[in-house]
Structure 1
């Protein structure tokens, strides 16, 4: 017997995914009322829809800022969409603010996506891994396999789109953006960002400020 789809189930699924009420109802019906399976259905549907829009030109949007408590850390991010209409929507503004906060929290992030990381940087990091002491006495094949695994993690750490979203760690930033592409019906691109840390580049006492900021933001 099929489970009756309640309004509460639909609202819960909408809160989890940001999808429309009709799409949530259809996903719940297709999954026999399972929230978990319905989330997967909507994610797959959203991924396909977002991928179709990913090559469309996005030149509108906004520049969003995030200043962390204490004014010692700030971020500027440019988020693009296709029309000024979408750029004015509160969902788009919240997305931009969330991305700026994510950048503030993820101190290792230097690039928007992995394909922006220069090959010379990848080669340099790979050579360093191969020369580490714990790999010296291992065979060439084992060294290569371990180094490749470490580089894979390193590249993900450097890429904003590969980060787990700090407010919903079950999804990545890339999935978050694609969710909003489906929600707002336009291509959305993170074009560029810059992180400002008070005193960065100056000679200061050694502390755990970056770690402290990350922990505070994650606990908000």
Structure 2
């Protein structure tokens, strides 16, 4: 019996399972909707996808660096509670995904989720883990760095919740230690760009506009206002640029000073992930709302 698009659509709406899973089980049970729902539940897929709408703002950051230090990847894997974030199966899944991302040149999250992880895809392993642990789990984002020129990829993780990946070019004797120190600094100081000149022109113009509005009522002459704006703008750019920041382990030096002291090295780029950043945690519903949600099958 052929499975129609309408049947797949109905099964998806009733279970929340993925399109391919719905099509597969419908074909397996000859189009019987009730049996298809039961089979999805047995497979754990309906249960997994029912949780897909719940906020997953806890989790872990996992980083894997190749043995030669020339490539590496960082991933954020989310769950709902700190309890599951500490679960060994959950942490192993995050480690496996990071290792896969480090070794496979995939460009998008969808490509990463489709990669084989053992006998199944990353996405299939994720769904199985959701069913096992009873929480919404998601691979939220990843980044991969690789270089063929002299240099190193370094990392730093703080408490499993903040992770940094750094790419540094060069071949100086202290290259690895410098890269590690930069990663630690990024974790602590949260720069947004490597250099002040990397800040987009649109942002600079917007900041200048804001500063001009703030200075407009000062009553000072126009030339003084212009100097005030310039000084404040330079201060802002220094605060958000890695090389201009005071080095966290020695505030008497900027990161640029440290880079210069090491020799032939240059910070190319960095990425900083913090678990749950940008995810709004839903306010806890009242008991009555929770009961009604269960009655409605949500």
TM-based fold match above 0.5: yes
- Choose which of 191, 213, 217 in structure 1 pairs with 2:268: 191
For the aligned residue pairs, the C-alpha RMSD in angstroms reads: 2.0
Which residue is 2:253 aligned to? Answer: 171
Which residue is 1:53 aligned to? Answer: none
Which residue is 1:37 aligned to? Answer: none
- Spell out, residue by residue over 1:7-42, the C-alpha distance to the aligned partner (whole angstroms, 9 max, x if none): xxxxxxxxxxxxxxxxxxxxxxxxxxxxxxxxxxxx
> What TM-score comes out, normalization by structure 1 length?
0.56
Measured in 2, the distance between the counterparts of 1:104 and 1:135 equals 37
- Choose which of 71, 78, 83 in structure 1 pairs with 2:167: 78
Which residue is 1:158 aligned to? Answer: 240
Measured in 2, the distance between the counterparts of 1:115 and 1:80 equals 19
> What TM-score comes out, normalization by structure 2 length?
0.42
- Choose which of 170, 184, 192 in structure 2 pairs with 1:101: 184
Q: Larger Cα Rg: Structure 1 or Structure 2?
A: 2
Measured in 2, the distance between the counterparts of 1:153 and 1:192 equals 22
User: Secondary structure of the residue that 2:253 maps to in structure 1?
Assistant: coil
> How far 1:137 moved relative to its partner?
4.2
Which residue is 1:201 aligned to? Answer: 278
Measured in 2, the distance between the counterparts of 1:98 and 1:170 equals 15
Greater per-residue strand proportion: 2
> How far 1:145 moved relative to its partner?
2.3
Greater per-residue helix proportion: 1
Which residue is 2:210 aligned to? Answer: 128
Measured in 2, the distance between the counterparts of 1:145 and 1:178 equals 30
User: Secondary structure of the residue that 1:171 maps to in structure 2?
Assistant: strand
Measured in 1, the distance between the counterparts of 2:234 and 2:200 equals 14
User: Secondary structure of the residue that 2:182 maps to in structure 1?
Assistant: helix
Contact 2:152 2:175 in 1 (8 A): no
Unpaired stretches in structure 1, ≥5 consecutive residues: 1-57, 182-186, 206-220
- Spell out, residue by residue over 1:39-97, the C-alpha distance to the aligned partner (whole angstroms, 9 max, x if none): xxxxxxxxxxxxxxxxxxx921111111012x111100011114xxx5xx5x3221111
User: Secondary structure of the residue that 1:112 maps to in structure 2?
Assistant: coil
> How far 1:163 moved relative to its partner?
0.9
- Choose which of 58, 62, 67 in structure 1 pairs with 2:152: 62
For CA contacts below 8 A with separation 6 or more, give which structure has more relative contact order.
1
User: Secondary structure of the residue that 2:252 maps to in structure 1?
Assistant: coil
